Structure 1
Amino acid sequence: MPELDRGTKIYAAVLLAAVLGLVFLALYQPPQVARLNDLLAADPQVGSFPYRFRVLRIDNGVAVMSTPRSSAVPVAQVLGKIFPDLSNAEPSSPRFRKLQDQLASTQKHAKALVLKDPDIKGIQWELDKDWLMQHGVQPGPL
């Protein structure tokens, strides 16, 4: 195998450093965000729920949290993805209503947990479009 010239080695090193930097930026979670996500994951109600509520970032004391719910996506679609055995249930059925209430109460509980942090002044919900698309749901316009 021929030896690489000096310019090619430098180019490869710079390219590797850039890729590693991008990977770091993509995976990095600020300590406060990581701590709040650990808190959510450790909570019996939030941590055991099939959808993972999490803090995405903190902007000036406002925790931006993920949610699968919005007016852009019918709740029946979301519930059918969180609870696959529910996909054919009627929205008026007792089981559907119970699981809809469970989703709402778990989201409310996740919010309350994050708001206990003295540095957090409020919560902003952000639709988890990635999760929805990974589960075959195309969110409509907001």
Structure 2
Amino acid sequence: MDRFTRNYSILLGLAVVIGLFFWIQSAWQPKVWELDEVLTSDPTLVDYPYQFRVRSLDNGTAIISTPRSFDIPAIRFLEIINPKLAGKAQDDPEMIAAQQDLIDHQKRAMGLILAQPGVDTVDWQLDTQWLADHGIHR
């Protein structure tokens, strides 16, 4: 192996090791895993068709996934998890009840996470992957 190839290989290997180190460091989040376990072990939330997940924890702010936002109305999500709601108006009593059920589950997830030590606030992040997997694109 000539000198250039050897030096190039060493630099490339070093870059890979450094990149791997930073990737492992960013992926290693045991506190996030603990918070997520709180949500996945709650009997009320486990029975709901959408599983809220803790995405990250930074400076006391927990980011939790959600299937709704101002861009994606709850009605689109609700028609997926409950096909009998498809085509119903937003003011239909069944749709209102389904929206309230979503709100109640979202509030429960938020309350459980806020009750954990080290968590001061909760922010929500649209779960674009879940929505895309179910045919909804932004």
Match of 1:117 in 2: 116
CA drift of 1:78 comes to 1.1
What letter matches 1:66 in structure 2?
Answer: S
Asked if residue 30 in structure 1 is aligned to residue 56 in structure 2, the reply is no
Pairs within 5 Å for 1:37-56 = 37-56=36-55
What number of residue pairs does the alignment pair up? 130
What letter matches 2:107 in structure 1?
Answer: K
SS at match of 1:85: helix
Taking a change above 3 Å as real, the CA distance of residues 34 and 105 of structure 1, as seen in their structure-2 partners, is same
Question: What is the distance in 1 between the residues matched to 2:87 and 2:47?
Answer: 23
Asked if residue 88 in structure 1 is aligned to residue 81 in structure 2, the reply is no
Match of 1:134 in 2: 133
CA drift of 1:29 comes to 5.2
Gaps of 5+ in 1: 1-6
Taking a change above 3 Å as real, the CA distance of residues 109 and 29 of structure 1, as seen in their structure-2 partners, is farther
What letter matches 1:87 in structure 2?
Answer: A
Q: CA RMSD in A?
A: 2.9
CA displacement 1:92-141 (0-9 Å, x = unmatched) = 222111111000010000000000012001001111111111111112xx
SS at match of 2:55: strand
With structure 2 as the length reference, what TM-score do the two structures score? 0.78
Gaps of 5+ in 2: none
Question: What is the distance in 2 between the residues matched to 1:112 and 1:91?
Answer: 27
With structure 1 as the length reference, what TM-score do the two structures score? 0.76
Match of 2:62 in 1: 63
Runs ≥4 residues deviating over 4 A: none
